[in-house]
Structures are given as structure tokens and as C-alpha cells.
Chains A and B, each alone.
Chain A
């Protein structure tokens, strides 16, 4: 084993015998682009609606009844708009967490609507906690507070947004729960 490692260490550290420096640098550069592009393309594919819905069908039905799916202006949110951070490093962190969810899918821990209903509160709480911790970043990627026109909001919305939200006392998810999915049993949740 030690001899094996030493042999490879020698190959890596010794200068190239047959390939030119130009070939190695240009080749490395090209392969780097292909690898990096391929990696990001594959990762972006896991951010598409088609990919998400291939497993999460039931929840997609719920989304379709909400304003985040169909509305007057045709701007819409897909799963990853809200559930995956847009920033690259945070996205990688979330994708790594999601690998555990792949395991859950393989073992069928939520394989029926009944199992899903039983865990709906716990699952929702994960997302609420995540959004609370990052100050509802995924909401704010579209709904940016600095560009909100209070004169175009209802009096009730102005009241809340100009006080609790403006002061940073509350964040979007504190009030806007269940805006894209059905709510779980909320009897023990603050604010209900």
C-alpha cells in the first residue's frame, strides 16, 4: 500500500516526459471548463421543477392552487425559488443536506400521503426555521422590502409591513406561512 502511494506520488511530482507544457496547461484548462460547466449544469438540473416534481407530486398539486403558481402578471415561483438558496455556497450546503433526503426517498420513509400528513408539521417547521434564520432570504429575493410601495398595499398590509417588518422585529415567514402549500395542524404554532 505504501509502495503504491509512493509510486503515484513520484508520477505526480516528476516533470512530464511526453506531453508539452502547453498541452498540459491548455488541456487542464479545457477539462476544467468542461468539468465545472458539467457540474453546475447537473446541479442546475436538480433545481428544475421537472426534477423536483418527479418525486414531490402531491405537494406540486397544492402549489398549483396558489398565487405563486398562477397570477395576473405571470411571474411565478418554482420549488427551488423558495427552497434552495440562490447564492452558490449556500446552494451547495443545501444540496449536501438534500443528499440525506435522497436516502429518505430510497428507504421510503415518506412513501404514502398518510405518512406525509403525519410528518407535515415537522417538515414545515424545518423550512420555517430555515427561513426565520436567514431572514426570509428566499422570499426577499423577489419581494424586496426597499422596493415595496405601501400606497399599493391594503391598509392592513401597510400596518404590518411598516411596523413589524420595517423594524426587523418580524420576518416574512412569521406571518406568511402556508402561502404555497397547505398548512399542517397549527394548534401549537405561535401566531395561530
Chain B
């Protein structure tokens, strides 16, 4: 029993210390953000690595999620003779929820894990120490460009996910199941509000963009510099950022859409 309490205490202390280190790391990274803004090539490289390389999985997933939403939505709506509202259902679900959340989860799995592994390897092969000894600040050269690039890329990817999803819904709902195209688009247009729905969805994606990239970069920089350490940090990134995305999504939804 005493052992249990002791390990609980030690675990809590450890978690608090890690959180403190993570916060300091974020502050230092944000303070160094001027560098990738001045040197666009640094940002450009990372936008390609985390944004462009994640694009294909986002587009394909978006299309399929939209198609599934249309199928499921149609089957329910048709019972009430309300299949004309299919466009609204698909757009609401994508723009408010699935766009930012699924993009956040996929981004964590594709770009976040790659970022952690890359930074972890740089740490274990002494590249980060090497940079410091060459009087080059890793926060400016390595961490800040990655944070900024991920922060920019994730909301853009989420927007593309939703857009492709709406097209997927159209493909199944209109082309396959025979919902009227005019109704699909016009009902969507009149029901979806830019401020309440699109903008709030975008805010979610911006928050996820910050949190997922922060976790990924910190996990890499804080890992034990051994092969096992890098592997467990990479797994940790996917687990922690997925949980963070889902938890934050609940909080944000409660604040944004409950009133």
C-alpha cells in the first residue's frame, strides 16, 4: 500500500516536472520564431515536410469520410423524407468536428511522429549538441521552423479535408443515391454559417496545430538519446497528441457550440 502511494507521488512529481520542461521548451521555441520568418527557406522546407507530405493521406481520408457520412446520413434522413438536408448534415459534421479532429489525429500519426523521430535521432547522434557547439541555436534552427510550419499546415489541411469531404458527400449522395444537386448545395449554403461553423472549426484546427506540434517537438527534444528512447518518444507523440486532440475537442465544442 505504502509502495503504491509512493509510486503515485513519484509519478505525479515526474509528470509535473515534465510539464514544466515542456512549457519552458514551448516558450523558448516561440521566442525564436522570428528566425523562420526572416529565413523563409527554413520554413519552406518544414512546410513541405509536414504539410505537403501529409496532404495525400488527408485528401484520401477526407474523400472517404465524406462518402461514408453521405451513406449513413442518407439512410437515416430518407426515413423521415428529409434526404434533401444531406448536404447540411455532411457539411456540419465535417466543418465543425471531423475536419479538425481527424486531421489532427492523422497529422499526429504522419507528421508528428516523423518530427519526433527526426529530432530524437538528431539528439542521439549529437547533432543538436554539435549545432550548439557551432554557436547555432537549435531553437531557432530546428524547433521554431517546425513549430511554425506545423501550426500553419494543420488548419490548411483541415480545411482541405472538409472541402474534399463535402465533394465526397456529393459524389455518393447526389451522383449515386440521387439526392437533388440543387438541394444538396443550397441547403448547405443557407444552413452553414461562416462565423459560427467554419470559423469555429478553424479555431479548433489552429489549437490542435499548436498542441500536436508542441508535443511532437518536445517529445523529440526531451527523449532519452538511445534507440529505445527515440522509439518510445515517437509512440508517445502519437498517443499523447491523439488524447490531447480528443480532450481539447470536447472542451472547445462545449465552449463553442453549447450555447
A binds B: no
> Taking beta carbons and an 8 Å cutoff, which residues of A are in contact with B?
none
